[in-house]
Structures are given as C-alpha cells and as structure tokens.
Amino acid sequence: MPTLIELRLKATWTVWPDTRQLHGLACALFEGEDPEHLGQDKPFAVWPLRPGGLPGEWEWRAAWLPDGVPPARAVTAEVLRVGHVSCSVTESSQRRVSHAGLASGVPLTVAMLTFGSPAYFSQNGVDTVVPDPRLIAGSWRRRWNASLPDGDPLAIGDEEWRATHRLLALAAFDLRTENRDTGHGRERAGFTGTATLRLARGAPAAARRIFGTLVRFAEYCGTGAQTTHGFGATTVSAGG
C-alpha cells in the first residue's frame, strides 16, 4: 500500500546531495538487484535531501506507491550510503494508507498545493514548465493507475478522467522558476511555490471524488516528471 517513509540521517563525512546520488540511494532501497531497475515507471517517488537541525544531519522523505508493503530494506536499513558517504539512520517513521482508503476520503473541489522542488512535465520529449492544472492532476492520475494492479476497479478510466479534467482550473498561484540538476550533467527548470486548483462550480459527485482521491495521492507520488530524482515534491492543503 502507498507508504510515506521519513528518515533522519547522520553523515560520517560531508554529503553533496546531488540528484544522481539521491536517485542511486532510492534505487538501492527500493530496487536492490532487481532487473526492473531499467524500467521507466518506477514504483516510488523521493524528495530532495534536506539539511537537519545539526551539522551532518539530513532529513529525507520517500514514498512507495504500489499495493503491498515496501521492500524490507527501505524501512529497516540502519546505514545508508549517499554517494561514497555512509549515513546512520537515527530515526525512521512510516505512514501507510491503502488505495481504497485514499479513494474513500472526502470528495474535494479545491486544494492548495506546495511544490517543494521544481516540477515540470515532459510531453513527447519536450519539457513544459507551465502549471497547467490538467498536466498537474494528469501526472497524479498516471502514477495512481500505474500503482494499481491491472484491471483494478479503483483505476481512473479515460472517460471519467475526461469528464473530470475539463472542470479543473488554476484558481491562484505564487510560483517561481527554479533550476535543479538532472543527474545527467545539466540543469532543468521547473516551478516551485504554491498553487490552488479548483473544480468548476457544480462539478458532479464523480469528479469531486476523483479529484479528492488524486489530491490525497499527490503527497505520495509527487507532481510531473522525474519524481524518482527529487523533482516535483508536493504537499497539499485540502479545501472543501
């Protein structure tokens, strides 16, 4: 089941929390020697490493998205490596919820989002740095469906998605453009800050249910492209 994992790390040496090292850490935890490492739809999302309160301390959040418990090493590791630096896990916590639990929550018509790391979208090989509400929620829907078993009744079908996303609008925003290294020797731009998404007045119950489901899932899956590399870290303040 979707699981948020929050770790506090104590480094033995100076850590340079670049994207390549972060992605390597995530793959080591969630994939190990699994040959699916080369797959495109990875079943996890991560936040960038954040400095802790004391020198050498770091905080890290990651999420396991599919049904079932995450790999044991992701929740029981006592020592992790960030690049060549060993880090002790001094504190670990998990928050789990089933897909059914996310889908059965309160229907929503509005939600305020905070993007803690640059979010962007990739369409047919072209990067898009525009807070289009259909792209934002569409990225959640893609990860939601990918995290479910084939044929699962909780999957959001094309027809009901078309009926929902045409009702979405960007109601307010306070965003800025920010660059982040991609892990491939170049930087990529994205938007950070806050944005409010809203369904049109009089949106039917089905649209409000789908929107509520995806808003709650957003904190697990992140927003946009490269969420397995620390892009698109998302928190949500749900409205009514």
pLDDT digits (tens, 9 = 90+) for 24-80: 888 888 887 554 544 567 899 999 999 988 888 999 999 999 988 899 888 888 998
Out of 41, 63, 96, a domain closes at 96
User: Of 96, 128, 150, which residue constitutes the final position of a domain?
Assistant: 96
Do 27 and 69 lie in one domain? The reply is: yes
Would you tell me how many other CB atoms lie within 10 Å of the CB of residue 180?
Answer: 22
Domain count, the chain: 2
Rounded Cα distance, 106 and 212, in Å: 7
Do residues 111 and 83 both lie within one domain?
A: no
Q: Is 190 in contact with 180 (CB distance < 8 Å)? A: yes
Residue 82 or 101, more confident: 101
Shared domain for 90 and 109, answered yes or no, is no
* Same domain flag for 224 and 157: yes
**Position 235 pLDDT exceeds 70:** yes
- Residue 92 and residue 103 in one domain: no
Same domain membership, residue 105 and residue 13: no
Q: What are phi and psi of 234, to 5 degrees?
A: -130, 135
CA atoms 157, 160, 166, 171: torsion sign: negative
d(CA 210, CA 217): 11
My answer on whether 155 and 196 are in the same domain is: yes
Q: How far apart are CA 20 and CA 146, in angstroms?
A: 24
Percent residues over pLDDT 90 in the chain:
71
Q: In this structure, are 90 and 113 located in the same domain?
A: no
In which domain, by residue range, is 225 found? 99-238
Amino acid at 142: R
Bridge-partner residues for 188, per DSSP? 180
Q: Among 23-27, 30-34, 84-88, 151-155, whose mean pLDDT is lowest?
A: 30-34
How high is the pLDDT of residue 39?
55
pTM of the model: 0.92
Place 124 in a pLDDT band, splitting at 50, 70 and 90. confident
Rounded to the nearest integer, the mean pLDDT of the chain is: 91
User: What is the pLDDT at residue 35?
Assistant: 47
